[in-house]
């Protein structure tokens, strides 16, 4: 019994002694982790300034900054682990990462999927920062493209984060991809209106509205004969930003209404005729009246 207690005591003393010997390395490793955090910020700023000078694309600038930050943290953590545990070699760390990669891959597959999708989005640039887009059920301005998600600021001032995997694998409508954007506006006129007169009136008005582009040229087409009106579709082009599209659409609508008033063109509204009758005269219970 005494021999067993002596062995336990000796083992505990050895463990305490080994822990004391590791304390300097552990403190130094912790210090290196703190230094790595500071170094990552410095490297991030340096790479950001350098990328602004060397690379024109803002997406590639973001990619360079994020890769530099992740690389700095990875290098710093490896150095801290080697310093904290002197017996741990670089080959052991690589082997440990290799063995744990499968388990980590299953546990964090969504994170890795978003990470790879984010890198591909930054490299391919299907859209850029500041573009107005429609992603899934959301529409707004692209605020940031991160490694994990894409940030979208809606027109109502809300911030939406969409995982990059969803953005990469689903259709994205880029509303500001080109210099101009077309707006279609419907307007109806009465059946007594001369159609050439209405068409030319609408064309003349559109070209005078500030913000409507001359190229591509505006178009006015007769599209259908409705229940109470002959329907026209007015097509014109503006700059693609949503604020301009809405502002100019309002101005075009006001100008079209004023032109119709000046030219005597009627913009009809649906009319319904209601017939009133005495229900007693249509008594279905009486076969004679039903006939």
Query: How far is it, in rounded angstroms, from Cα 71 to Cα 43?
Result: 10
Q: What one-character DSSP code corresponds to residue 86?
A: T
Task: Give pLDDT, residue 3.
Answer: 61
| Average pLDDT over the chain, rounded to an integer | 81
Residue 34, pLDDT > 70, answer: yes
For the chain, residues classed under CATH 3.30.70.100 are: 181-263
More reliable by pLDDT, 50 or 229: 229
Q: How confident is the model at residue 30 (pLDDT cuts 50, 70, 90)?
A: confident
Q: What are phi and psi of 38, to 5 degrees?
A: -70, -40
Task: Give pLDDT, residue 279.
Answer: 61
Q: What one-character DSSP code corresponds to residue 282?
A: G
Percent of the chain with pLDDT over 70: 74
For the chain, residues classed under CATH 2.30.30.60 are: 126-174
- The CATH number of 181-263 is 3.30.70.100
CA distances from 177 to 131, 172, 240 (A): 7, 11, 8
For the chain, residues classed under CATH 1.10.287 are: 19-107
Helix (H, G, I), strand (E, B) or coil at 291: coil
126-130, 131-135, 179-183, 237-241: least confident range: 126-130
Task: Give pLDDT, residue 194.
Answer: 92
Task: Give pLDDT, residue 184.
Answer: 96
Task: Give pLDDT, residue 71.
Answer: 80
Tens-place pLDDT, residues 71-116: 887 777 777 777 766 666 655 555 555 545 555 555 557 777 888 8
Q: How confident is the model at residue 239 (pLDDT cuts 50, 70, 90)?
A: very high
The gap from C-alpha 205 to its chain's centroid, in whole angstroms, comes to 36
Class of domain 126-174: mainly beta
CA distances from 215 to 193, 218, 247 (A): 29, 8, 19
Task: Give pLDDT, residue 32.
Answer: 78
Helix (H, G, I), strand (E, B) or coil at 285: coil
Helix (H, G, I), strand (E, B) or coil at 73: helix
> What is the CATH topology of the domain spanning 19-107?
Helix Hairpins (1.10.287)
């Amino acid at each position: 019994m005494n021999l067993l207690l002596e062995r336990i005591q000796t083992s505990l003393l050895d463990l305490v002694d080994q822990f004391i010997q590791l304390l300097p390395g552990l403190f130094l490793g912790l210090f290196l982790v703190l230094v790595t955090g500071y170094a990552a910020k410095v490297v991030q700023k340096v790479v950001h300034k350098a990328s602004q000078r060397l690379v024109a694309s803002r997406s590639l600038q973001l990619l360079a900054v994020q890769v530099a930050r992740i690389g700095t943290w990875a290098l710093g953590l490896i150095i801290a682990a080697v310093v904290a545990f002197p017996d741990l070699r670089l080959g052991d760390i690589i082997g440990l990462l290799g063995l744990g990669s499968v388990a980590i891959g299953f546990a964090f597959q969504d994170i890795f999927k978003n990470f790879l999708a984010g890198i591909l989005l930054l490299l391919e640039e299907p859209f850029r920062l500041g573009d107005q887009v429609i992603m899934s059920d959301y529409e707004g301005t692209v605020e940031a493209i991160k490694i994990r998600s894409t940030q979208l600021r809606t027109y109502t001032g809300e911030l939406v984060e969409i995982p990059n995997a969803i953005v990469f694998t689903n259709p994205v409508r880029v509303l500001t991809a080109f210099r101009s954007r077309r707006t279609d506006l419907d307007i109806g006129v009465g059946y007594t209106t001369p159609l050439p007169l209405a068409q030319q009136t609408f064309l003349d008005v559109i070209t005078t509205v500030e913000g409507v582009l001359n190229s591509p040229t505006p178009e006015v087409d007769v599209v259908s004969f409705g229940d109470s009106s002959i329907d026209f579709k007015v097509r014109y082009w503006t700059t693609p930003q949503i604020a301009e599209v809405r502002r100019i659409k309002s101005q075009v609508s006001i100008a079209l209404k004023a032109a119709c008033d000046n030219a005597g063109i009627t913009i009809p509204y649906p009319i319904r005729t209601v017939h009133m009758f005495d229900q007693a005269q249509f008594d279905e219970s009486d076969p004679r009246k039903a006939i």
